[in-house]
């Protein structure tokens, strides 16, 4: 592996490696890593407009729009009522909770692999990544 001196390249490389590992863990579940991740975040977030959910998750609004749209077509996410006709409030559907429950063992097994690699330094990594995310100009 070529060494990288650049933090951006390094982070993107690590993210690809981790994504591949989690994708393999979700193999056959019908959900991709981003889909499962967003579904779980929506579960914890509660009913939420798309724009607000995008801001809360650090995604582009249109990425959220399309990914949540796919989850909605699968019945994992549903629309909630809202006074503002512009906003599309979404929340997790019962089938979405089932999907999370179904995928969680494999997901947490992957998470456990991370723990094996990092041990107590996991907290340190998260703290460093928190600082990295302050990069927004």
88 contacts: CB under 8 Å, gap ≥ 6: 49, 50, 79, 82
* Min CB(35)–a second copy separation in Å: 12
Distances (CA, A) of 83 to 49, 86, 88, 93: 12, 9, 10, 20
Kindly tell me which residue out of 7, 79, 82, 109 binds a second copy, with binding defined by CB under 8 A: 7
Residue 50 within binding range of DNA, rule CB under 7 A: yes
3-state secondary structure (DSSP) of residue 120 = helix
Kindly tell me which residue out of 80, 87, 110, 114 binds DNA, with binding defined by CB under 7 A: 87
Q: Where are the beta strands (DSSP E) in the chain?
A: 77-79, 90-92
123 contacts: CB under 8 Å, gap ≥ 6: none
Residues that bind a second copy (CB under 8 A): 1-2, 4, 6-22, 24, 33-34, 37, 40-41, 44-45, 55-59, 107, 110-111, 113-114, 117-118, 121-122, 124-126, 128-129, 131-137
Residues that bind DNA (CB under 7 A): 12, 16, 19-20, 23, 32, 34-35, 49-52, 59-63, 65-67, 69-70, 83-89
């Amino acid at each position: 592996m070529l060494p990288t001196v650049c933090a951006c390249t390094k982070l993107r490389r690590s993210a690809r490696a981790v994504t591949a590992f989690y994708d393999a863990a979700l193999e056959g579940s019908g959900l991709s890593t981003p889909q499962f991740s967003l579904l779980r975040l929506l579960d914890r977030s509660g009913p939420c407009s798309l724009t607000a959910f995008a801001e809360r998750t650090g995604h582009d609004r249109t990425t959220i729009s399309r990914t949540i749209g796919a989850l909605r077509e699968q019945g994992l996410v549903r629309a909630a009522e809202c006074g503002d006709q512009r906003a599309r409030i979404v929340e997790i559907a019962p089938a979405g909770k089932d999907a999370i429950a179904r995928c969680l063992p494999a997901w947490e097994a992957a998470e456990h692999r991370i723990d094996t690699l990092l041990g107590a330094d996991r907290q340190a990594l998260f703290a460093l990544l928190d600082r990295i995310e302050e990069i927004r100009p």
